[in-house]
Amino acid sequence: MYPITSREHALFKQLVKLEKSSRLRRLKGLTLLDGVHLIQVYHAREQIPLKLIVSESGYDHAEIKHLIRELSRQAGIDTIMFSDALFKQVSPVRTPTGILALIAIPTCESNAIDDSQVFCALLEAIQDPGNLGSMLRSAAAAGVNDVYLSNDCADAWSPKTLRAAMGGHFSLTIHEQSNLVQVAQQFHGKVIATTLQATQHLYQTDLKGPVAFLFGNEGAGLSQEILRAVSERVTIPMPGNTESLNAAAAAAICFFEKVRQQYY
């Protein structure tokens, strides 16, 4: 296998554009997975990458070489090698891992709610891809079924969000560009908003039935429009000397309080 070294190569140009542009990712329905772990998690969900892209030096790593052989043997996936210089320009991280996968973004046909959805998260205007990815990771770990994102959320399928979620995407149904008010109105259980202004504590709230948690923008919180659509508002007790929690931390606390109540 000989490395591609030309910046004029069509695949190189496509990957550079995909890494930088959320608009192009949505238009093409494609994104990039960075690193062995994400690719392994993706494949464990019986999903097949469209292509593997490996750096010249990355191909010498035993773990990467084994992954390439396994995927080539099982699914006949094409592997393209780039020179280290070209791979670095494509990679979404400062220190490239040595392997990327080009994948199709899973399609979500409907934003409608049905009775099978008993544990959901509604995210309004979460701006930071790292925060969004962390929230998706916690949601997947806690057994959330569906996550609904407002129009002004960060791109769920950006390489940075994917890295932060550590494979959580592939255990969730992710609904982007959702009308959260409509989703909240249709949900058949409790829709619970986390807000500093609430008087009811999270730990005073019965979470044993169907629940949809609602989390807002890192700075501005939840809009008044969506707050009018919720059934309960709760706050997380903070006996320490701080004004608020990071959005991802608040989400994890809420998700796992529901898990705790289910088991005890």
Give a yes or no: residue 24 inside a domain. yes
Q: What is the CATH number of the domain that holds 79?
A: 3.30.1330.30
Residues 154, 34 share a domain: no
Q: What percent of the chain has pLDDT over 70?
A: 99
Which comes out higher in pLDDT, residue 114 or 3? 3
Least confident window among 122-126, 165-169, 260-264: 260-264
Give a yes or no: residue 2 inside a domain. no
DSSP per position, 171-228: GSEEE-S--HHHHHHH-SSEEEEE-TT-SSBGGGS--SS-EEEEE-BTTTB--HHHHT
For range 243-263, the mean pLDDT: 94
For range 219-233, the mean pLDDT: 92
Condensed to tens digits (0 to 9), the pLDDT of residues 84-104 reads 999 999 998 888 999 999 999
Residues 97, 144 share a domain: no
Residue 46 pLDDT: 86
Residues 245, 132 share a domain: yes
Residues 81, 150 share a domain: no
Contact 18, 32 (CB under 8 A): yes
CB atoms within 10 A of CB 127: 14
Give a yes or no: residue 68 inside a domain. yes
Encode burial over 191-217: b for 16+ CB neighbours within 10 A, e otherwise.
Answer: bbbbbeebeeebeebebeebbbbbbbb
Residue 109 pLDDT: 67
Write down the number of H helices and E strands in the chain.
10, 10
Least confident window among 103-107, 108-112, 115-119, 256-260: 108-112
List the structure tokens of 139. 């949601």
Q: What percent of the chain has pLDDT over 90?
A: 84
Distance (Å) of CA 242 to CA 46, 128, 193, 203, 211: 44, 21, 20, 19, 28
Q: Is 106 helix (H, G, I), strand (E, B) or coil?
A: coil
In the structure, what pLDDT confidence band is assigned to residue 258 with cuts at 50, 70 and 90?
A: very high
Residue 151 pLDDT: 93
With 90 as the cut, is the pLDDT of residue 179 above it? Answer: yes
With 70 as the cut, is the pLDDT of residue 188 above it? Answer: yes
Give a yes or no: residue 111 inside a domain. no
Residue 141 pLDDT: 98
Q: What is the CATH number of the domain that holds 131?
A: 3.40.1280.10
With 70 as the cut, is the pLDDT of residue 198 above it? Answer: yes
Phi, then psi, of 195 in degrees rounded to 5? -150, 145
- Domain holding 44, by residue range, is 10-104
Residues 204, 134 share a domain: yes
Residues 134, 86 share a domain: no
Residues 49, 148 share a domain: no
132, HSE (Cβ side, Cα atoms, 13 Å): 27
Percentages of the chain per state (helix, strand, coil), in multiples of 5: 40, 20, 40
Q: Which of 238, 247, 244 is nearest to 214 (CA)?
A: 247
For range 199-209, the mean pLDDT: 95
Residue 76 pLDDT: 85
193, HSE (Cβ side, Cα atoms, 13 Å): 24
Q: What whole-number distance in Å separates Cα of residue 39 and Cα of residue 48?
A: 9
Q: What whole-number distance in Å separates Cα of residue 143 and Cα of residue 165?
A: 14
Residue 241 pLDDT: 80
Least confident window among 108-122, 182-196, 198-212, 218-232: 108-122
Last residue of a domain, one of 45, 69, 104: 104
Give a yes or no: residue 57 inside a domain. yes
On average, the pLDDT of the chain sits at 94
Q: Which residues contact 60 (CB under 8 A, 6 or more apart)?
A: none
Residues 87, 137 share a domain: no
Residue 80 pLDDT: 96
Report the residue count for the chain.
Answer: 264
Phi, then psi, of 122 in degrees rounded to 5? -115, 120
With 90 as the cut, is the pLDDT of residue 190 above it? Answer: yes
Give a yes or no: residue 3 inside a domain. no
Residues 150, 230 share a domain: yes
Residue 110 pLDDT: 67
Q: What whole-number distance in Å separates Cα of residue 250 and Cα of residue 62?
A: 39
Q: What whole-number distance in Å separates Cα of residue 33 and Cα of residue 162?
A: 7
Least confident window among 78-82, 83-87, 110-114, 128-132: 110-114
In whole angstroms, how large is the CA radius of gyration of the chain?
20
pTM of this prediction? Answer: 0.94
